[in-house]
Amino acid sequence: MKLQTIIPDHERLFLDKDVPEAYKTDHSWKDVAAVKAVALPELEQEIIDLVTYANQEDLTIIARGAGTGVAGSQVPTKGGEVIIDVHRMNRILDLDEETMTLTVEPGVKLQEIQEFVERKGYFYPPDPGSKNSTIGGNIATNAGGMRAVKYGTTRDYVRELDVVLPDGQKATLGSLNIKDSSGYDLKDLFIGSEGTLGITTRIKLKVLPMPKYKQSVILAFDSLKAATNGVLSILKNGVEPAALELFERGTIEYSEKFTEKKLPSQKGDAYILMTLDSNEQEDLSRRVSFTENLLKGQAAEILPLSTPEEEEKAWFLRDHILVALMQFTEFEMLDEVVPINRFAEMISYTKELQEKHGINVINFGHAGDGNIHTVLMKEGMDEAAWQTKRKAYLDDLYSKVHELGGLPSAEHGIGVIKKGYLEKMSQPVEIQLMRKVKRAIDPDNRLNPGKVF
């Protein structure tokens, strides 16, 4: 069989030199190899045929969604790979209101899922900053985002996955059953495996009823330290935020410039942007007042956002930090995570390292989860100096993350970029177990080789 037989439509198949440059990179990684082909399947059977073909020809395969990754999870590193780009498999197939389950193809974008279910009165909680990422990609990295503090991560919303295995067989993992004590939990093994165990072809997602009321609040603080203390007060005192974001003024300024909007608060050096939700208006109002009383001595300003437009603007600014940084500067963004009681210590350490290594650093992140996006600013630095300083900074940073019981990646994945750090921060036995599982399911190292470990 030839690739042209499997994908007969020439606009869905690029070979060798015709492969667009975009496929050789993601939002983080440049040192890549030439691929053999890029195929854009529209049907599960085409994926099965592509994987079967790769087995016959002994080729390796990388599945790819929107290419918004930032860990080098989907980039070709060896040369000669076949990339399967699923972004044309982008249909929303069914909303089953009896089981509250949405069935989608892997190339559907997060934003389309959110908008679709919201129109029907439902709610899909996982909310990574990149709304253009695909659900297939979200599953590959167990994406988290803004609302994990209350609602959990992508993993918690996947009921069932159809996957094509490395040998071309199809399997359905998980089910619509709420309880399961029937054999190994293969579904959770595949979620977060960054395309190294199988290619997702169809997903059944759990959706929730949309909470009736919500209210966002901006809290401005004079210092990053005061803001992290504010985070801990909120978490300890039963405010129960649905989202609890923290960002330094330095990060939101990029977003203000990019979006040409202003954050409703302009005081202070660091902000908390928080959303509360509830099915009772009174309950919501009570919790907003409680927060105001709790933090009035600590915050420079507390602004409950009173109109949907203001709320939308504040969140639009938050969501565009990354895009704005990409537009205006050169940088590297991390996604370290630590247990919540070590969050303040971790974030303050990122600033200590700034002095030590001479790299400017700004932070934003999902404070309620202990997940920080530390941004190392390359700015005008020459490449050699950057590589040296960056490495020294990261060595120190990840050692501290490890010391505090944290992990190198909360939601972006390990890819190629964090492989060395994952290995350093794990027990050897853990990496051995992962390798054993990989070899058992993909003995020829057919799917996305060289990633994760």
Task: Scan residues 138-167 and list those touching a second copy (CB under 8 A).
Answer: 141-144, 148-149, 153, 155, 165
Rounded CA-CA distance 149/70 in Å is 22
* Residue from 92, 437, 449, 450 binding a second copy (CB under 8 A): 437
Rounded CA-CA distance 233/218 in Å is 15
Provide the Cα torsion 198, 75, 15, 38; round to 10°.
40
* Residue from 11, 21, 30, 181 binding a second copy (CB under 8 A): 181
DSSP 3-state helix, strand, coil percentages of the chain (rounded to 5)? 40, 20, 40
Contact status: 193 vs a second copy (CB under 8 A): yes
**DSSP E strand stretches across 119-235:** 122-123, 158-164, 170-174, 199-206, 208-209, 213-221
Residue-wise over 380-408: b if at least 16 C-beta within 10 A, else e? ebeeeebeebbeebbebbbebbbebebbb
Residue range at the interface with a second copy (CB under 8 A); choices 19-27, 61-69, 249-257, 333-341: 333-341
* Residue from 183, 309, 382, 384 binding a second copy (CB under 8 A): 183
Query: CB-based burial of residue 168 (10 Å sphere; 0-12 exposed, 13-18 middle, 19+ buried)?
Result: middle
Contact status: 427 vs a second copy (CB under 8 A): yes
Q: Which amino acid is at 275?
A: T
The interface mask with a second copy, positions 369-408, x = CB under 8 A, is xxx---------------------------------xxxx
Contact status: 412 vs a second copy (CB under 8 A): yes
Measuring CA to CA, which residue among 277, 208, 213 is closest to residue 242? Answer: 277
* Residue from 57, 185, 312, 379 binding a second copy (CB under 8 A): 185
Residue range at the interface with a second copy (CB under 8 A); choices 4-12, 105-113, 298-306, 337-345: 337-345
Residue 3, token pair as written in the block: 């690739």
Contact status: 45 vs a second copy (CB under 8 A): no
The interface mask with a second copy, positions 199-228, x = CB under 8 A, is ----------x-------------------
CB nearer to a second copy: pick between 38 and 414: 414
* Residue from 409, 416, 446, 447 binding a second copy (CB under 8 A): 409
CB nearer to a second copy: pick between 237 and 306: 237
Residue range at the interface with a second copy (CB under 8 A); choices 213-221, 249-257, 279-287, 307-315: 279-287
